[in-house]
Structure 1
Amino acid sequence: MSSPVRLLLVDDDPLVRAGLASMLGGTPSLDLVGQASNGREAVDAVRDLHPDVVLMDIGMPVLDGVAATAAIRADSPAPEVIMLTTFGSDDYLLRALRAGAAGYLLKDAAPVEIVTAILKVAAGEPVLSPRSTRQLMSHAADTDHDTRRTTALAALNALTDRERDVVQAIAEGKSNAEIADALHLGVATVKTHLANALVKLHLTNRIQLALLAHDANPHP
């Protein structure tokens, strides 16, 4: 990106915030615009500071990171959210991604991994740690299997055939260019189908589309 990514840090532990601020604040590609100590403060700070990316903890008082992410992503325009947390459980991972998070990293991630993730999500590319990716693929459709599958199939029926093709390709991890090649479409056309699917399904990013597709077809 031509200008630094505007970053908001959210964590209830002041020592963690200080450490992250020290580590990330000196990175030329990032502009640390603010900090928040709970989810409610984060929602307010996003509206005041207009960050590009929010680095969000999960377990916080007043409003936790998952609820704050859902509230932030419900607004438009909305920043991307990366969960940076000590919680590596499947439940937290899926809740965060369904709320609209574009990334999920554990706090033991290397500094360069965190910076790279911030830059990637700012550019529109979702980021998951390798461990989180394995968890997602293993468990995305396990919870409330039948209910989620019925709901997902009904939602996907609202799409055109071509929009469903694009969503399925996203669930397979394909980029827009790869989808265009596979479906013999232009990249601009793929982006249009993607945007239309997100609007129709009331979703905010590719990860949520992939989860929906996995819910609909848990055993492809």
Structure 2
Amino acid sequence: MSEIKVFIVDDDPLVLSSLQTYFKKAPHITVVGEANDGHEALNVISKGGIDVVLTDIHMPKMDGVELLERIQKVAEPPKFVAITSFDTDETMIKILSLGGNGYILKTARPESIISTIEDVMQGGTVISPVSATRLIKTLPTQGIGSYHVTNAEEEVLKLICKGMSNHDIAKELGKSPGTVKKHLSSLFNKFGASSRLDLALKAIDAGFKTKD
């Protein structure tokens, strides 16, 4: 896998240190810088050379939401992943509606944070399982009608709707990452989806049953 250049933004030194430690386990991910608030981060990000911005949401001077709005205006905006301790539907929807590529929690396992960075670089959208599950509880659960989804694809789709990454899905189902990717590609075609989030929303809108 090609090198992924990540820039971290958080006003908590302990979080910055922890994330730096996590990414040292992934030789293909390089932390190219860090900042304590959105204003400081924007000055660096606007110069380019960054693939993914991993940022807290609640920070002084400029929060993560405003940072995302500003980043979207630069010539070649990097991928944007919000990582937070304060999980609310309003914030999650705001981040995703503004074009954010990921919304995860600081309590996520290091492997999940790493796989989130990998997935968004491949064009995916990642939502924390807790947030995604809460979001879909209020939506229909009757079935998916005429999409002709196989049993294996349905297993993958159920976990996609819970916000899980390819790495975690493969581990959960005991399948290879390549097999999961193959099923995901087939699901994208069947639903005409442009991203993981789009796939989940289209499946749920069609009445996909996300609970056993």
For 1:42-81, what aligned pairs fall within 5 Å after superposition? 42-81=41-80
Which deviations, in whole Å up to 9, do the C-alpha atoms of 1:174-196 show, x marking residues without a partner?
9564343567xxxxxx8xxx6xx
Following superposition, the deviation at residue 15 of structure 1 comes to: 2.0
Q: Which residue of 2 aligns with 1:94?
A: 93
Counterpart residue number, 2:168: none
Aligned partners of 1:78 and 1:29: how far apart in 2?
A: 21
Change (3 A) 1:79 1:32: same
The equivalences for 1:4-23 within 5 A come to 4-23=3-22
Aligned equivalents of 1:181 and 1:129: distance in 2?
A: 24
CA contact (8 A) 1:24 1:115 kept: yes
Query: Is the contact made by 1:98 and 1:208 (CA closer than 8 Å) also made in structure 2?
Result: no
- Secondary structure of 2:32's aligned partner: strand
2:23 — aligned with what? 24
Q: How many angstroms does 1:61 deviate by?
A: 0.7
Does structure 2 conserve the Cα–Cα contact (< 8 Å) formed by 1:93 and 1:136?
no
Identity over the aligned pairs, expressed in percent? Answer: 33
Q: Spell out the pairing of 1:175-194 with structure 2 (5 A cutoff).
A: 177-181=186-190
Instruction: Verify the 8 A CA contact 1:93 1:104 in the aligned structure 2.
Output: yes
* Cα-to-partner distance string for 1:103-132 (whole Å, 9 max, x where unaligned): 111111000000010111011111111111
Residues 7 and 34 in structure 1, CA contact (< 8 A), matched pair in contact too: yes
Task: Supply the distance in 2 between the matched residues of 1:71 and 1:94 (Cα, whole angstroms).
Answer: 17
Displacement of 1:133: 1.1
Letter paired with 1:11: D
1:48 Cα offset (Å): 2.3
Is the contact between residue 69 and residue 98 of structure 2 (CA under 8 Å) also seen in structure 1?
Answer: yes
Identify if the C-alpha distance between structure 1 residues 46 and 138 changes in structure 2 by more than 3 Å, giving closer, same or farther. Answer: farther
Normalised TM-score (structure 1): 0.64
Q: Higher helix proportion, which one?
A: 1
**Aligned pair in 2 of structure 1 residues 18, 81: CA closer, same or farther (>3 Å)?**
same
Query: Closer, same or farther in 2 for the Cα pair 1:86/1:182, shift >3 Å?
Result: closer
| Cα displacement string for residues 133-164 of structure 1 (whole angstroms, at most 9, x for unaligned residues) | 12333479xxxxxxxxxxxxxxxxxxxxxxxx
Matched, 1:36 2:13: no
Distance change in 2, residues 1:137/1:182 (3 Å): closer
- d(CA) in 2 for partners of 1:71, 1:218: 35
Q: Which amino acid aligns with 1:18?
A: S
User: RMSD value over aligned CA atoms?
Assistant: 3.1
CA contact (8 A) 1:23 1:111 kept: yes
Once residues 88 and 43 of structure 2 are traced to their aligned partners in structure 1, the CA distance between those partners, rounded to angstroms, is 28
In structure 2, runs of 5+ residues without a counterpart are 140-159, 162-182
Match of 2:113 in 1: 114
**Where does residue 129 of structure 2 map in the other structure?**
130
CA distance in 1, matches of 2:16, 2:34: 8
- Residue 210 of structure 1 deviates from its aligned partner by 7.8
What is aligned with 1:105?
104
User: Using a 3 Å threshold, how does the CA distance of structure 1 residues 49 and 15 change in structure 2: closer, same or farther?
Assistant: farther
Which stretch shows the higher mean deviation, 23-32 or 105-114? 23-32
